[in-house]
């Protein structure tokens, strides 16, 4: 029997439209009924490609007994976190306050009809397990407490709300050049010397931290940081979290060696990792990094794209089996290799074994990166691709999200600097996104590929779209892009900025954004990046907003910069009096051609060994040494 979610557009909500649970979307109707019937509200937040969301659905939301308890005692609301990041942000903060640790998905929150939180969890097993109370037991306990002593629950909820309120104002801390030393030390402390990356399992690619390492190395030539970067990129590229067959990064690895991922692939991860591998290639000239950046881009274009718009994610599961599309049976691969006269040694080289490395089957993974470019390896990979083509591809959430598409477009512009064929692709993608999601200075957040957008844009949509415009400007030097970026930046300041802080959005939840990077760089940090760029290219007034933002975040920034690598990058840029656009030879070539008679001055500051190219308003490029400059030819 269908519930109210059948009328929603979100693929995630529609996944639950036939549950026996009487789901509501987030709506006034749900809260009005909760008040009228005096019921607690169960808010369940997730997204369509989330593996553990699927698990909880099968175990609990499709269970008739669970559904009966929910329907009799609660009003149940389902939220797509990709569609409503403002709601997700608010309740993740509630979870963090109640549990003193970060949350995740699925997020399970119980609130009063007045939206006061009384209990929070992530995944909840159907029966007591993992040190957690079982879902049915929890439902009965909460329902009983609400019937017998609601005031006790309300009092607890109000205490939580009080705890969430801003504490005594922390005075701004001076941001000093010591920031580079502090964050470099923290990176080295967290670095996994055995397998690369940072911290223990589960391990995420942490693109923001890798980009910070790249920029720190460019500034300081710290060889230890360069080694950390190369080791991490090499270990991930062996395969597992990185799909060596189709290309593309999975969201995270469940183990420390990057072998077993949760197999969902997110647009934002892949966009950010294109940039990382492009910049790593430019830094090291290691061909493999360029190849991987191209493989990721091709995966996105071939599998996650329609009419130059990029879908939000692909699922971890296939036919209800986690990783079913991605993993291989030893005998099927051995037989396929023998038919094509591929030597049996290639089974070992690609980690295809009788015992397997994942539930008795095998995730393809290079035993050594050196075999990547062998012709025999390429033939073997093509055979693995053919095997996959006979399988059902994981479901794809064909939601178009402005911020994530903008990330992808920015990375395609980056890629075009080392592979020019991608410039036209980036231009087409930007045009398609603008046509669908942008109306003057009004930006929408998300829509299905074949529907008109309805959800008003959040700060992340404005920040990342501005970044994409500036990415194109860096390549083309088309000043009309600066006009558009300036107009939208002004609108973002008007809508979201307040005394150095930035709101998530302008809807029901106007929570201020955090400066730390979670799944992807904080939109607050991207706005600082945009503001510093516009300060250099357009008008000094934008420095005020960037400075005020850095000042508000300065206390945490100077103490724990590793948690906010994107903002740290921008603070370092600001500290170094970065009144420039750091760039590459492509920009300089175009500057020299386009502005040959423009009053540029080439100079070497007496305080350092750097070279800058400037006009009377802004500097457009800096090289860190004379050799670096003269090694580039116009």
Q: Which CATH number does the domain housing residue 75 bear? A: 3.40.30.10
Cα gap 617→4, rounded to integer Å: 58
Please report, for the domain that includes residue 314, its CATH number: 1.50.10.10
HEC profile for 44-65?
EEECCCCHHHHHHHHHHHCCHH
**Domain shared by 107 and 27, yes or no:** yes
Average of per-residue pLDDT across 406-429:
97
Cα gap 507→320, rounded to integer Å: 36
- Cis upstream peptide for 560 (omega within 30°): no
pLDDT value of position 473: 95
Task: pLDDT band for 291, please (50, 70, 90 cuts).
Answer: very high
Q: Shortest CA distance to 468 belongs to which of 520, 424, 403?
A: 403
Point out the domain boundary residue: 351, 372, 389: 389
Query: In this prediction, what percent of the chain has a pLDDT beyond 70?
Result: 90
**Domain shared by 313 and 457, yes or no:** yes
Domain for residue 216, yes or no?
yes
Phi-psi label, residue 389: left if phi above 0, alpha if psi -120 to 50, beta otherwise: alpha
- The answer to whether 125 touches 135, Cβ cutoff 8 Å, is yes
Express each pLDDT in 325-370 by its tens digit: 999 999 999 999 999 999 999 999 999 999 999 999 999 999 999 9
**Domain shared by 261 and 242, yes or no:** yes
**Overall domain count for the chain:** 4
pLDDT value of position 160: 87
**Domain shared by 350 and 314, yes or no:** no
| CB neighbour list of residue 390: distance below 8 Å, 6 or more residues apart | none
Cα gap 429→78, rounded to integer Å: 32
Cα gap 515→242, rounded to integer Å: 28
Task: pLDDT band for 165, please (50, 70, 90 cuts).
Answer: confident
Please give the torsion angle defined by the CA atoms of residues 30, 31, 32 and 35, in that order, rounded to the nearest 10 degrees. Answer: 130
**Domain shared by 476 and 623, yes or no:** no
Task: pLDDT band for 617, please (50, 70, 90 cuts).
Answer: very low
CA Rg value for the chain: 25
| Residues spanned by the domain of 49 | 4-164
Domain for residue 580, yes or no?
no
* Mean per-residue pLDDT of the chain: 90
Q: Is the pLDDT confidence value at 598 over 60?
A: no
**Domain shared by 124 and 243, yes or no:** no
Query: In this prediction, what percent of the chain has a pLDDT beyond 90?
Result: 83
Express each pLDDT in 525-543 by its tens digit: 999 999 999 998 998 999 9
Cα gap 75→110, rounded to integer Å: 10
Domain for residue 84, yes or no?
yes
**Domain shared by 379 and 401, yes or no:** no
Domain for residue 170, yes or no?
no
**Domain shared by 122 and 210, yes or no:** no
**Domain shared by 443 and 550, yes or no:** yes
Express each pLDDT in 72-117 by its tens digit: 999 999 999 999 999 999 999 999 999 999 999 999 999 999 999 9
């Amino acid at each position: 029997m269908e519930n109210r979610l059948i009328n929603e557009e979100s693929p995630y909500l529609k996944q639950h439209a036939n549950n026996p649970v009487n789901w509501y979307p987030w709506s006034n109707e749900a809260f009005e009924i909760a008040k009228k019937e005096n019921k607690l509200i169960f808010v369940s937040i997730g997204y369509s490609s989330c593996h553990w969301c699927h698990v909880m659905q099968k175990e609990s939301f499709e269970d008739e007994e669970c559904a009966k308890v929910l329907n009799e005692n609660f009003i149940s609301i389902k939220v797509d976190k990709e569609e409503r990041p403002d709601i997700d942000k608010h309740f993740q903060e509630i979870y963090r306050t109640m549990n003193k640790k970060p949350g995740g998905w699925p997020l399970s929150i119980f609130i009063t009809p007045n939206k006061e939180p009384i209990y929070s969890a992530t995944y909840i097993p159907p029966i007591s397990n993992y040190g957690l109370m079982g879902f049915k037991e929890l439902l009965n306990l909460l329902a009983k407490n609400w019937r017998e002593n609601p005031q006790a629950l309300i009092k607890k909820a109000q205490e939580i709300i009080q705890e969430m309120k801003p504490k005594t104002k922390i005075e701004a801390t001076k941001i000093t050049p010591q920031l580079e030393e502090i964050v470099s030390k923290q990176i080295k402390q967290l670095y996994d010397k055995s397998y690369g990356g940072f911290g223990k399992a589960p391990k995420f690619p942490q693109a923001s931290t890798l980009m910070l390492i790249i920029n720190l190395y460019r500034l300081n030539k710290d060889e230890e940081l360069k080694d950390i970067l190369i080791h991490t990129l090499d270990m991930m590229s062996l395969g597992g979290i990185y799909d060596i067959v189709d290309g593309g990064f999975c969201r995270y690895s469940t183990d420390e060696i990057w072998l077993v991922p949760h197999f969902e692939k997110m647009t934002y991860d892949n966009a950010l990792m294109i940039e990382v591998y492009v910049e790593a290639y430019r830094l090291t000239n290691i061909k493999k990094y360029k190849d991987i950046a191209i493989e990721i881009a091709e995966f996105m274009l071939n599998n996650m794209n329609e009419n130059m718009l990029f879908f939000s994610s692909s699922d971890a599961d296939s036919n209800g089996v986690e990783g079913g599309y991605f993993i291989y049976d030893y005998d099927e691969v051995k037989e396929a290799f023998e038919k094509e006269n591929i030597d049996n040694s290639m089974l070992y080289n690609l980690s295809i074994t009788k015992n397997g490395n994942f539930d008795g089957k095998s995730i393809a993974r290079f035993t050594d990166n050196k075999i990547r470019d062998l012709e025999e390896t390429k033939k073997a990979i093509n055979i693995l691709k053919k095997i996959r083509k006979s399988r059902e591809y994981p479901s794809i959430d064909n939601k178009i999200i402005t911020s994530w598409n903008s990330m992808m477009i920015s990375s395609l512009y980056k890629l075009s600097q080392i592979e020019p064929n991608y410039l036209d692709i980036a231009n087409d993608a930007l045009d398609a996104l603008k046509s669908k999601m942008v109306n003057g200075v009004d930006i929408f957040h998300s829509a299905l590929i074949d529907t008109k957008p309805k959800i008003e844009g959040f700060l992340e949509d404005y920040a990342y779209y501005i970044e994409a415009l500036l990415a194109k400007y860096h390549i083309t030097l088309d000043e009309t892009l600066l006009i558009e970026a300036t107009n939208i930046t002004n609108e973002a300041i008007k809508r979201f900025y307040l005394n150095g802080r930035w709101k998530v959005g302008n809807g029901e939840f106007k929570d201020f954004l955090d400066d730390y990077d979670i799944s992807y760089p904080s939109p607050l940090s991207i706005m600082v990046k945009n503001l510093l760029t516009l300060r250099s290219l357009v008008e000094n007034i934008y420095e005020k907003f960037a400075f005020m933002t850095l000042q508000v975040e300065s206390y945490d920034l100077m103490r724990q910069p590793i948690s906010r690598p994107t903002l740290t990058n921008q603070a370092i840029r600001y500290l170094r009096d970065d009144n420039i656009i750091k760039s590459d030879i492509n920009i300089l070539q175009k500057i020299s051609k386009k502005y040959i008679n423009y009053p540029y001055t080439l100079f070497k500051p007496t305080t350092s060994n750097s070279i800058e190219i400037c006009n009377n308003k802004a500097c457009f490029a800096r090289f860190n040494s004379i050799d670096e400059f003269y090694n580039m030819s116009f």
